[in-house]
Structure 1
Amino acid sequence: MTFFQKLGNWYFNKKSLPYWAILFMDILICYLSGILVYWLFYRSAVTTGNILILSKTILFYICFNLIGFKIFHTYSGIIRYSSFIDLRRVGYAMAFSLLIAEVLHYAVYSFGVFVPFRGRQLVGMYLLATLVMWAARIVIKSVYDASFANEGAAKTLIYGIRDGGVALAKNIRSEKPSRFLLKGFISHDKAYKSHLLMGERVYRGDESLRDVIVKEGISTVLVSPLQNQRFRKDSFLQDLLIDSGVKIMMLPETKEWKKGMNVNDLQSVSINDLLPRNEINVDLESVGAMLKGKKILITGSAGSIGSEMVRQIATFAPEAMMLIDQAETPQHDMKLLMKNKFPNVRCNVVLMSISNQARMERLFSEFRPDYVFHAAAYKHVPMMEENPSESIQNNIYGTKVVADLSVKYGVKKFVMISTDKAVNPTNVMGCSKRICEIYTQALNAKLVKEYEANGSKGEIPTQFVTTRFGNVLGSTGSVIPLFEKQIKAGGPVTVTDPKIIRFFMLIPEACKLVLEAGTHGKGGEIFVFDMGEPVKIADLAHRMIQLSGAKDVKIVYTGLRPGEKLYEEVLSNTENTLPSFHEKIRIAKVKEYDFAKVSQAIDALIEESKTYDEMEIVRQMKEIVPEFISKNSVFSSLDVPTADGHRE
């Protein structure tokens, strides 16, 4: 190892150069600058002949420099982290010192012990010293950056150019010490192919990127937050990066990009971040205007959807909230949430089942809600297939109780959370939710007729609105948490069928659309949400295994479960839709039912559920919902197919 290498290691391995060493370097630069300027004017003979008195003169001027250094703290920074601000401080210090020197240098001549410096020589000495001090700091910083600052930094590509990508690149280059070493950009814009940006090459996100990753040793890709949506849709690039063992970092799906965010806001991707979905914009001002100062009742408040509804509604400053759920521990968590995050919102957290009619009546009579958001329901398909009586007593009877009380106590709007499994249901759970839809829609139509028959105009006293959507990311019991658990255990990952697909949506996005639909719904509508592109569950499992880095985890296909569909539908084959107030929300045109007949059939079904005769219970469900055809279930025996595939 050479002397200079040893010297570099000694310095750069220290926390920082001692301030006295920086000060000594600046003094030496000022001294040598004075000697050089004098030599330029008088050449070597005069300079060497007056070296002692010249040195004494320069050192005298350096006293002024020390004043400037002290005032502007030019020696207190860490040189290897020098920035424009540090260079500016040096400039200010030298300018201040020159000003003092210019004022006093005439007086200096009177002592007769100094070499007289002319005004332009004095300016030249200070200007040269300033430039050399700037150069010294830049050189030291450059040497450090080239040799040590990027040691251990991950070689990185940035997905996205223009404002987002460039801002991210500047941010990672300004980090000290560096965690990421920029090696280029990824862009689909053909105009930038092979261009240089910030001194690095712009690459295409195609097959040729594999060679770049290997050649440059790329270990990380940072996704510009402004390109999140495009990246989520680029499954080819995702697979290429994951197969190449590249770590992907992007803004989490739970965060929204805001000005001032930087690389520290990016996180290693989870499967949730990579699922394709469209950005959803909601008119939150209208929602806030509707809910502010109102009394809100939420059923199923401890569930995945219900709890998010609580969080979002609480931000709109309602007068009071009543939260109802029968799950003890999650409901206790909601109580703590309201106490800690929304202490100014008056809130009553109630532990009970919505099918407890007597207590529900008392709660409605005391609380008198303005709006009801009904999210309570049993949702697991296999469990409800095995317990159809419970799906009737909780989902259907519970909905009937809450809906009837909403009418009785003058609730302005009742918003029910339904599911895509209610469309052409193939299982008990989906059919139970379809019956809930039928009941509330028929009840709404009955109220409209009565209201109009009385000669009234305007909005009916209680409006019933239904919202349908598919699976939500992060909900309890969904496939993603299950796959994560199986991968952690070393596999196998169980998928029911290689062809099965599902729609996914973020819980916050789904709840925003529920609030939007609740705000604009006039009553009687079934709102259908645009769920984006469906996801093949087998591909989802494969990608989760790759992202985890786990080895030898296999995927095992177990066969469709009772009542399970290969393809979830959001609309029935016999339904069509109409546009609504929001591009992501459409209005389903569904068959309308007579309330009297529906109510009578549902009452009979509820009574039948108390017998726990599963076959008879499901048979009556199929009578109410003729399109309910059981799949892979013991109840398939109740379906007698005709030539055209319908049930008799």
Structure 2
Amino acid sequence: MIAAYRTRLLIAMDLTAVVLPLGAALWIQYSNPWQNPHPGVWLVYTLLAGFIGLYGIIKQQLHRSVWQYAGVGDMLSILKAAIPAAFIPYTAIALIWVESFPVLLLAHHLAGMVFLMAGPRLFWRAFCDKFGKCSRIEQGRESRRALIIGAGSCGTLIAKELLQNNASTLIPVGFIDDDPYKQQLRLLGLPVLGNRGDIPKLAELHHIDEMIIAMPSVSKTQISEIINKCKTTQARLKIVPDLQDVLHGRSMVEKVRDVSVEDLLGREPVRSDLDNIANYVEEKTVLITGAGGSIGSELCRQIAPFHPSKLILLGHGENSIYTIEMELRSLFPDLAFETVIADVQNRSSLESVFERFRPEVVFHAAAHKHVPLMERNPSEAIKNNVFGTKNAAECADRFGAERFVLISTDKAVNPTSIMGTTKRIAEMFIQSLDKHSKTKFVAVRFGNVLGSRGSVIPRFKEQIAKGGPVTVTHPEMVRYFMTIPEAVQLVIQAGAFASGGEVFILDMGQPVKIYDLAVDLIRLTGYEPHVDIEIRFSGIREGEKLYEELLTSEEGMTSTKHNRIFIGKPMNINRTELEFEIRKLEQVIGQDQAQIRAVLKHIVPTFRNVS
């Protein structure tokens, strides 16, 4: 009811703005309007202008514009409605009546219409800019002040949506932009307040509650630098995702999301040689073990677009395998794939899978990876990480796979844990097997991945959601991190470089303090560390070390064609001796920890048995 009344009122006001200037023009043209020598013509002129003006008002939807945010678009719409309402009646009168009205009458009518239609809108816009967005406060909702970082097209679109959405409680205060030409300008009535170096003081000066980083086309490194500036304030952080994500969908504001830990890392997107990858994956039967896990499932997602002739998803956990199966059916309906529930520790089961499908490429991601759990269950780590890998690798050799890629870890380097030591033995075994096989055996070694099951990030998020405390093992604990998609993309690329026997090492970027990560996560959630959320130090757990390493002392590192993939120098491993030691390891499974650790130490002399 109120909306209908408002519509009729606005149409009536604009229609008055069409007709009223004719009276003013008459006063200017004739000192006394009653002395008008063409009263009938004048009436026709007025009616014709009114009808054409009404059509233009409705056609241009002027009654739907919000005066508070009047801009260039509204002014153009007014001109599109006003010009025909002035020219068409004047031209018609001039053609029908010999003695036409003076040209000044047309000029006065058009100028008057534009003034009366645009003037109130611009006045109200200026008033609102001067005294604030009172309409939202009047509605009784608490408003939050926002600073938009980036005064380009993305930032201005977000500001425009926020300004036009009266349902939003977020009020844009201004922009931040490094372009000196934009300094002191006003965009959509909002000032460009300064550059990124001014963020902390401007946030305090303008009482900013929320910051929106609206720079989807800049590098990840720059985004990380901006986030680090914003972290020093109390404002909550939001970000517009990558440009390709922004281009889909109508609402820019809907694309804005919370800043994530991935944004903090500032990792640039991986650039892959797609032709090299396609050469060894396309139209091949690809087997992925541990396909339901964090890395295994991402391998499935990224290999599927390369059109393997068949994708074999092998895993021990039925629920996780079912989840990735449903996802692949949805995303890749034409993909030929099979799901197999099997345990890599079961040799006969694995042999039947290889015999049935004859995979040409194998990605071995099945492993136990949780360090403290494996310290308490060393036999399980040995059975899965050593003998599971041995079974898969020997099956790949026996059934003629072209290449075998082992997913390894930086914890295999100078290991202090059972888990890391078992992964190092797995690396050593495939290197020894490579010398006697037509299959190309390689390992890819990298550090922690963000968001994997059982990793530190999900644990921190859960602790923050419960109100704390957040537990960090040691204030100086340092780890390398990368995202799961990034790690998997590099793993697949490394597989393309395989000649046989290499251990590929991925560029993990700069190491990150776990304490700093906890602080950042707390702040990103809108809390203050040690004030709202407590951080406690729990002490280093069994098998952990303060710093991870990517190379052993015996390994040198050489570059590849890819700037983020390196090769550790292949080790000279005697297969006969290694298999003898592995048989000894098999004999101590289930025995006491001292015996198990002694054998592990004998196989991997760099194992620092700290438990």
Structure 1 34/439 Cα, relative in aligned 2: closer, same or farther at 3 Å?
A: same
Q: Which of 20, 24, 34 is the aligned partner of 1:32?
A: 20
Residue matched to 2:346: 356
Residue matched to 1:458: none
> In structure 1, what is the Cα distance between the partners aligned to 2:239 and 2:441?
40
Structure 1 166/140 Cα, relative in aligned 2: closer, same or farther at 3 Å?
A: closer
Q: Is 1:497–2:477 an aligned residue pair?
A: no
Unaligned 5+ residue runs, structure 1?
A: 1-12, 448-460, 634-648
Structure 1 17/226 Cα, relative in aligned 2: closer, same or farther at 3 Å?
A: farther
Q: Which of 210, 223, 232 is the aligned partner of 1:231?
A: 223
> In structure 1, what is the Cα distance between the partners aligned to 2:185 and 2:103?
47
> In structure 2, what is the Cα distance between the partners aligned to 1:263 and 1:275?
24
Q: Is 1:588–2:579 an aligned residue pair?
A: no
Structure 1 477/128 Cα, relative in aligned 2: closer, same or farther at 3 Å?
A: same
How far has the Cα of 1:107 moved from its partner? 6.8
Q: Is 1:343–2:323 an aligned residue pair?
A: no
Over residues 326-385 of structure 1, what are the superposed CA-to-partner deviations in whole Å (9 max), with x where a residue is unaligned? 112212212222233322212211112111111111111111112111100000111111
How far has the Cα of 1:621 moved from its partner? 1.6
How far has the Cα of 1:405 moved from its partner? 1.0
8 Å CA contact retained: 1:276, 1:532: no
Residue matched to 1:508: 485
* Higher-Rg member (1/2): 1
The aligned runs of 1:111-510 (5 Å cut-off) are: 117-143=101-127, 147-148=133-134, 151=137, 154-160=144-150, 169=159, 172=162, 180-186=170-176, 195-196=184-185, 198=187, 200-206=191-197, 209-223=199-213, 224-227=215-218, 228-233=220-225, 236-241=228-233, 245-251=234-240, 259=247, 262-447=252-437, 461-510=438-487
> In structure 2, what is the Cα distance between the partners aligned to 1:257 and 1:97?
44
How far has the Cα of 1:196 moved from its partner? 4.3
Q: Which of 571, 577, 581 is the aligned partner of 1:597?
A: 577
Structure 1 343/608 Cα, relative in aligned 2: closer, same or farther at 3 Å?
A: same
> In structure 2, what is the Cα distance between the partners aligned to 1:363 and 1:147?
67
> In structure 1, what is the Cα distance between the partners aligned to 2:248 and 2:299?
29
8 Å CA contact retained: 2:14, 2:57: no
Residue matched to 1:65: 52
Identity %: 33
Q: Is 1:572–2:572 an aligned residue pair?
A: no
The aligned runs of 1:622-633 (5 Å cut-off) are: 622-631=601-610, 633=611
Q: Is 1:101–2:89 an aligned residue pair?
A: yes
Q: Is 1:521–2:498 an aligned residue pair?
A: yes
> In structure 2, what is the Cα distance between the partners aligned to 1:490 and 1:247?
17
8 Å CA contact retained: 1:382, 1:561: yes
Q: Secondary structure at the match of 2:381?
A: helix
Structure 1 66/584 Cα, relative in aligned 2: closer, same or farther at 3 Å?
A: same
Structure 1 vs Structure 2 CA RMSD: 3.2
Q: Secondary structure at the match of 1:321?
A: strand
Residue matched to 1:539: 516
8 Å CA contact retained: 1:72, 1:92: no
Q: Secondary structure at the match of 2:173?
A: strand
How far has the Cα of 1:17 moved from its partner? 5.8
Aligned length: 594
8 Å CA contact retained: 2:413, 2:551: yes
Q: Which amino acid aligns with 2:277?
A: V
Residue matched to 2:43: 56
8 Å CA contact retained: 1:503, 1:534: yes
> In structure 2, what is the Cα distance between the partners aligned to 1:196 and 1:473?
41
Q: Secondary structure at the match of 2:8?
A: helix
Over residues 409-451 of structure 1, what are the superposed CA-to-partner deviations in whole Å (9 max), with x where a residue is unaligned? 121111110000000111111010001111111211233xxxx
Over residues 285-309 of structure 1, what are the superposed CA-to-partner deviations in whole Å (9 max), with x where a residue is unaligned? 4324532222111000111111111
TM-score (structure 1 length as normaliser): 0.83
Q: Which amino acid aligns with 2:396?
A: S
TM-score (structure 2 length as normaliser): 0.87
> In structure 1, what is the Cα distance between the partners aligned to 2:100 and 2:266?
77
How far has the Cα of 1:264 moved from its partner? 2.5
Q: Secondary structure at the match of 1:464?
A: strand
Structure 1 169/530 Cα, relative in aligned 2: closer, same or farther at 3 Å?
A: farther
8 Å CA contact retained: 1:74, 1:93: no
> In structure 2, what is the Cα distance between the partners aligned to 1:194 and 1:57?
53
Structure 1 36/246 Cα, relative in aligned 2: closer, same or farther at 3 Å?
A: same
> In structure 1, what is the Cα distance between the partners aligned to 2:61 and 2:462?
56
Q: Secondary structure at the match of 1:69?
A: helix
> In structure 1, what is the Cα distance between the partners aligned to 2:83 and 2:183?
45
How far has the Cα of 1:538 moved from its partner? 1.7
8 Å CA contact retained: 1:277, 1:533: no
Of residues 265-274 and 298-307 in structure 1, the stretch that sits farther from structure 2 once superposed is 265-274
> In structure 2, what is the Cα distance between the partners aligned to 1:24 and 1:165?
36
Q: Which amino acid aligns with 1:372?
A: V
Unaligned 5+ residue runs, structure 2?
A: none
8 Å CA contact retained: 1:149, 1:178: no
8 Å CA contact retained: 1:423, 1:571: yes
Q: Secondary structure at the match of 1:226?
A: coil
> In structure 2, what is the Cα distance between the partners aligned to 1:545 and 1:70?
52
How far has the Cα of 1:85 moved from its partner? 5.0
How far has the Cα of 1:464 moved from its partner? 1.2
> In structure 1, what is the Cα distance between the partners aligned to 2:609 and 2:429?
21
> In structure 2, what is the Cα distance between the partners aligned to 1:156 and 1:556?
33
